A and B are shown apart, each in its own frame.
Chain A
Amino acid sequence: MPSLPDMNATDVVDMARRAAEHQAPRDHHIHNEDLKPALFEWLCRMGDSSLILGHRVSEWCGHSPVLEEDIALANIALDLIGHTQMWLGLAGEVEGKGRDADALAYRRDAADFRNFLLVEKQNGDIGSTLMRQFLFDAWHIERLRGLKGSSSERVAEIATKAFKEVSYHVDRSADLVIRLGDGTDESHRRMQKALDSHWTYANEMFTDDGLDEAVAEAGIAMRPSGLKPAWDALVDEVLAEATLTRPQNDFARRGGKTGERHTEHLGHILAEMQFLQRAYPDASW
């Protein structure tokens, strides 16, 4: 288990704060007016998926099947919220309208969220949660691996930090998918059902659009479709060991990362998450 963060010594929090405080002059992308809208929205995509998945995972706190899972899931949620701080912190900085990570997380409505549909899905049983986590982690690790070499140094800095944590996430979720897939008949059935249910949602992670194009042109991030071969390889390997069958459906549900059509769940997530900030807009916490 990675070490528990100290209240004030969490380097994730530190990095986000640093990101918000000083603007690194070396990163010209941050000040590129033409790129600004696309970069802002792309950073929200990164931050929002982490935020919403972190929220979902944190719902397990105290309710998981074994104590070790309570600890591991809390740790993963903690990492994801840490990543959110960094991505949304940078997004606010790029936008330049005085919004920080909290303002973006707590004061936008569903239509402005840019997370994948996959991460909004309800937890279901622990198998469904872990399968969702694995499909996401397998994407996440490839995404971050590429971003470590981003032409934006600020993006590369965040990716480097997050990469270490996500390496642990993907090792763990892959391992559990294998053990549960190749466990009992019941666990196998549950895992196959979870995989089938998540599959067309997962496909959204590899859809390209104009915004991805702009960010790719600038050398900031690879096109999502470019992440697919490595994802396929890892997913195929793990599913084979888990004795699970890969669904043969390339259809991608869309609307999460563009914000055009979220699931009904997102509104409920936000109603809960944003309650205090919305009910007491003048308060500081």
Chain B
Amino acid sequence: MYGQELGATQRDGIEAGTEELEAAFQARIDNNERIEPKDWMPEHYRKTLIRMMGQHAHSEIVGQLPEGNWITRAPTLERKQILLAKVQDEAGHGLYLYSAAETLGVTRDDLTEQLLSGKMKYSSIFNYPTLNWADIGAVGWLVDGAAIMNQVPLQRTSYGPYSRAMIRICKEESFHQRQGFDIMRKMANGTPEQREMAQDALNRFWYPSLMMFGPSDKESVHSDQSMKWRIKINTNDELRQKFVDQTVPQAEFLGLSVPDDKLAWNEEKGGYDFSEPDWNEFFQVIKGNGPCNEERIEARRKAWDDGAWFRDALTAHAEKQAQRRGEGVLQAAE
């Protein structure tokens, strides 16, 4: 989903004697081959992927929270079911992605600890609050819409497990976007109060959604290597442009206005001109100063800490069972 490339490490030193291996590795990628877990890969490729996939998985997990915020208040039984199914999907996405990351030699628990300690990030978008019911529409429409924009190309990414996870996930994402748009349509065509909520939601989610593609290409330092390795397919600005071009007509269809005075069709480039988001705000949100950073991490930490006895008990039970089976085998042998 979330190609923001937050907190990238600098390139590790190239180990001596690996040039040939690296050249062969690059040739495979250039030849459109998939890299599989047992294949040789540069350490930096492995680390970059762990960071990307871990960050993506964390985003799915933390992403449950802003939408979960409205499950108990969903306005009809059917909306409640749809939202439950959607949030359940996001948890499932987290699960596929953690499993895919585990093929690179990290554990889900390691990654979780790094999320909770702040060493690993998740998409900035989930640090924004969901304040009215139309926000649930806006999240599906814009946030899942932006995620699809990022993820569709990643189905062709060079790392096999990541690519396959993306293929599974993309199948579900279009349902997410449709249900969000459907809520928006209902709200935009509803009572004056509902319309107001819809516009308010668009106003608040527009720029944070644009931020989901990461900083402008001019400032994104590590895109080149990632693109060479085909773990990034398009540049941030390309995707952002595509997203704006796709979304503006949808907003018009809804009769809502995009909160950007500078928004205008540019015939020459065949796309919209639009205002950049406030990148200072973006970096502040990444640093921890977004509207909900503390609540989100606190919620995840509480879930993790409060659940420790539960996880320990399951492990203890499994050990007891194994031991009992062992004793059973011994007794049978006697």
Contacts and interface: CB of A to CB of B under 8 A. Distances in A.
A74 B186 contact: no
A210 interface: no
Interface in A51-71: 51, 55, 58-59, 61-71
Main SS of the interface on chain B? helix
A126 B85 contact: no
Nearest to B310: A65
Nearest to B87: A61
Interface string A7-32: 10010110000000000000000000
B87 A67 contact: no
Contacts of B331: none
A5 B74 CA distance: 17
Nearest to B319: A183
Contacts of A85: 77-78, 81
Nearest to A183: B313
Nearest to A5: B85
Given A81-B77, A182-B317, A75 B88 contact: yes
Contact of A70 (B64, B81, B98, B308): B64
Interface stretch (A100-108, A149-157, A247-255): A100-108
B172 interface: yes
Main SS of the interface on chain A? helix
Interface string A71-90: 10011011001101100100
A184 B312 contact: yes
Contacts of B98: 67
A7 B178 contact: yes
B303 A81 contact: no
Interface in A160-199: 178-180, 182-184, 186-187, 190
Interface in B263-288: none
B89 A4 contact: yes
Interface stretch (B4-12, B36-44, B189-197): B189-197
Interface residues of B, number: 56
A61 B92 contact: no
Interface stretch (A200-208, A215-223, A231-239, A273-281): A273-281
B307 A12 contact: no
B31 interface: no
Interface stretch (B65-73, B113-121, B250-258): B65-73
**Closest 10 pairs (CB-CB, A-B):** A65-B307, A183-B313, A187-B313, A62-B64, A74-B88, A285-B75, A276-B75, A61-B68, A62-B68, A179-B317
Interface of B: 61, 64-65, 68, 71-82, 84-85, 87-89, 91-92, 94-95, 98, 108, 133, 172, 175, 178-179, 182-183, 186, 190-191, 193-194, 299, 302-304, 306-314, 316-318, 320
22 contacts: A7-B85, A7-B175, A13-B78, A58-B71, A58-B80, A62-B87, A62-B299, A63-B302, A67-B108, A70-B88, A74-B85, A77-B84, A126-B306, A179-B314, A180-B313, A180-B314, A184-B312, A184-B316, A187-B309, A283-B75, A283-B194, A285-B183
Interface of A: 1, 4-7, 10, 12-13, 51, 55, 58-59, 61-71, 74-75, 77-78, 81-82, 84-85, 88, 101-102, 105-106, 125-127, 178-180, 182-184, 186-187, 190, 272-273, 275-277, 280, 282-285
